[in-house]
Structure formats: C-alpha cells, structure tokens
A = this chain, B = another copy of it.
C-alpha cells in the first residue's frame, strides 16, 4: 500500500471548553509544551487557575475545540461562545454513543469523539495535573462520517501531551468501557454498600477491599451520568461478569489470574492513513504512538 508523502500541517491552536481536572490538565499540558492554547470555563476560579498556567482565556475559539465538560452539559457547552465554522470539535466524555450522535448532528464530519482513559476520583480545577495524560490511552472515534484529516489533528493533540491514541468506533468504545470502567464502578458500590452493615467488616477492610472500592470516591452524579449514558452496554457487561461468578471458584480464580499476569510482547507497526487500517489497530489491543508524514506508527500486542 503506497502512500505519497504529505507535509504535516502546522499544529493548529487548541481551545478547551471546561477547565476542570481533564480540560484544565490538557490546557496546562499543551501550554507547557509550547502549544497555542486558549480556554473557557463558566467558573471564574477555574479560568484564573488556567490563566496562571499560560492559557489564554477567551470566548472566541477555533482550531481544535475540546469539550471538556460533564456529559449532561455536552450539548449546551458551546452556547454563548463564538466558534470558527471550520473548527474541528472533539470531546473528552466517558461515553461515546450519545455524544457522537448529538454532536455529529450539529457538526457532521467536523466532530471527532474522544475519551482519554485517565483522571482520578478527584475533580475540578484544583485537581489539574499537566502530566495526567502521560502514557494514558486516548480513545478517538473514527465513525464512517468522520473526516480523517480532522481525526489526525485531534490525534496529534493527544500525542502532544504524551497519550497513545486508540482508534475506535463509538460502539466499540462504549462496549469496552462498560466492561473495564462502568461495571467496576457498580461492583465497587455494591461491595461497599453490602459491607457497610458490619462495623467490624469496615474496620478490618484492608488492601483488596480498598482497591476494589477506591473508585466510588468519585462524584456520584458523574458516575450516575456515565453508567446511565451507557446503560445497555453496562447491563450486558454486568451480566457477563455475573455469568463468570457461576463458574467453579478455582477455575474462575485461575482465569482471572491468567488475565492479570499476562504481558504480551508488543510489536511496532506502520499504519496507513485509512479508517479500516486504523480501527484494526484498536481492535487488536494496540495504539498509535507517532504521526509521520504519510502514515502513523503504533504497536499491537503479539497474538
């Protein structure tokens, strides 16, 4: 598959709407990397904190516009802001199907859904950390209508802050995060709520319990919006976990251990700038690590 060399474009400016933990960290990381970055937040304290980190505060936005707001605010976050009609729009929301549906309706192929797999149980601008994305996987939706050059522009923003880009469809993403994030949140809540009837149990709680329940320190409104925004995949993934619990315990424990301890070797590869080839990397469990002129570079686990 031959590709003609193309010059890479100069890095476009980035504008971040919502300067809480994720958005504030992204803006701070880009500013620290010398990129042109602006931002806006309805909270003056968040704006001030971002300005102190080198972010230009403005309501006029272009280039790559990043929606870093909670899921319920996604459809209204740009109200009152002036957005360049050629801007590429992306988001950082933890559920992709509903977000892609409504924002593709508004922006067509200019919208690229995204979800960096990082953040902690803390939130808000006081939890900003410019290194938050270093080494994180950043899922980026490549829908049939997504304009590939815009997808690459957003991918470059993710790569610029140290993340690895996982090409996905919104459907694939939501099924995956149901299994690895939304169900764990529900299990942690159920574990804590069930143990809470015994003060002795809570007093004895040690490593395995604290690890398994740490995530329920997260804001309950945020977690509720996340699981309810991904209700069907989450219910399906929960049913798969419950089916596992019916296995004989020794078999179940051995199966879980095998998953936890496997460390597949990684193989680097070059990927042509095509939707099918990029999505195949994500499906194989791989990620894109570098943008080159006519292709991207990444890795996939060995079979």
Contacts and interface: CB of A to CB of B under 8 A. Distances in A.
A192 to B, nearest CB: 4
Interface stretch (A58-66, A173-181, A269-277): A173-181
B282 A193 contact: no
Nearest to A218: B257
A223 B243 CA distance: 20
Given A200-B172, A201-B179, A244 B194 contact: yes
A260 B200 contact: no
Nearest to A201: B176
Contact of A209 (B181, B198, B201, B213): B181
Contact of A185 (B139, B195, B208, B237): B208
Assembly of this chain: how many copies?
2
Contact of A199 (B202, B205, B285): B285
A255 B186 CA distance: 11
Nearest to A244: B190
A117 B200 CA distance: 12
Interface stretch (A4-12, A36-44, A82-90, A246-254): A246-254
A240 to B, nearest CB: 4
A128 interface: no
Query: What is the predominant secondary structure among interface residues of chain A facing chain B?
Result: helix
A241 B136 CA distance: 31
A119 B192 CA distance: 21
A190 B179 CA distance: 11
B253 A223 contact: yes
Contacts of A244: 189-191, 193-194
Contacts of A199: 283-285, 301
Interface in A31-54: none
B228 A249 contact: yes
B249 A216 contact: no
B253 A227 contact: yes
Given A203-B137, A224-B253, A254-B220, A241 B191 contact: yes
Interface of A: 117-120, 136-137, 139, 166, 168, 172-173, 175-177, 179-181, 183-196, 198-209, 211-218, 220, 223-224, 227-228, 237-238, 240-245, 247, 249-250, 252-257, 259-261, 282-287, 301
Closest 6 A-B residue pairs measured CB to CB? Answer: A189-B256, A199-B285, A190-B244, A117-B206, A192-B259, A176-B201
